[in-house]
Amino acid sequence: MFEPTLPDPDTMYRALVEKDASFEGIFFAGVTTTGIFCRPTCTARKPHRENVVFFPTTRDAMLAGYRPCRVCHPMMLPGTMPDAVARLLQEIEADPGLRLTDTDLQARGIEPAGLRRLFKRTHGMTFQAYLRARRVGEAFGQIKHGESATDAAFGHGWESLSGFGEAFRKVMGASPTQATGPVTTVTRLETPLGPMLAGASDAGIALLEFADRRMLETQIERLRRLLRTPLVPGSSPFFGRLAEELQRYFAGELRQFEVPLDLRGTPFQTRVWTVLLGIPYGKTRSYAEQAKAVGDPAAIRAVARANGDNRIAVIVPCHRVVGSDGSLTGYGGGL
């Protein structure tokens, strides 16, 4: 299943005001004046429209600096949280700085491995990652609103700035000071071929890779160096369009993607990727034909290498390049 594309903001705000249960799981609402986020059916007093932002997942909301509402408990998705876990989340809400080991969890009647799987399935992160994100997200929210990194660190339970910086980098992929500048946002998308990781710069989609690809960490590091920005989990105006176009593509309703792309690379790589975009839907080329189209018939191996370095799977269709006899000769995402 795909993560749902967010409806338009006016529709979501109306659903929030009307406490429309049909929007449960579709979006979460962040209130800029209080720093909390809620589910659509929250019974708390409704904020003015200009003070509301919307997120597709609880993870996106937390990593944007918002904390879960204590009225509607958005982390407790209906039907997914056992009573012991619900009580644990309430305990964390009462003390966001709480640190829990596996022994602590077992003492509360919770099996650590099961809790880890539950959080991965419902929130896209492990329970320990949630605890870190919970604290770091709140601190990041305060830094974005003008508080110093020092005050944010000590105000959220860290005993040293070095410890805070290390935790911040684990979650945000950057230091507290770097993460307040330009960033490349990343998110996880579900597709019929499995989960994919998407990344967006200010220019457009810069990354779309299969989450289980062995080269994923290498691709992420290359992208970080190329764009010279930290990669931070979050939202981008390009993600909704990307998810919608992928859904239509896999349903056979779309043949040409229109979401903006950020194809930065070496001049040769950029030329190869641009030529890839010209391979028609439903057609294939051999590596030799691709090298000729690039303008260098002898550069077959270099073209193959540039194909392998393509960071935007599916949309930049390196999967349409096959062996000279028409056979499948290899694909980074798996044949």
Q: Which residues are catalytic?
A: 318
CA distance 245 to 222: 26
Reduce the secondary structure of 110-166 to three states and give it as a string: CCHHHHHHHHHHHHCCCHHHHHHHHHHHHHHHHHHCCCCHHHHHHHCCCCCHHHHHH
- Lookup result for tokens 């320990």: 128
Contact predicate 275/313, CB 8 Å: no
Question: Is the dihedral angle over the CA atoms 310, 315, 319, 321 positive or is it negative?
Answer: negative
| Alpha-carbon distance values, 86 to 67, 130, 183 (Å) | 16, 14, 34
Question: Is the dihedral angle over the CA atoms 16, 21, 27, 32 positive or is it negative?
Answer: positive
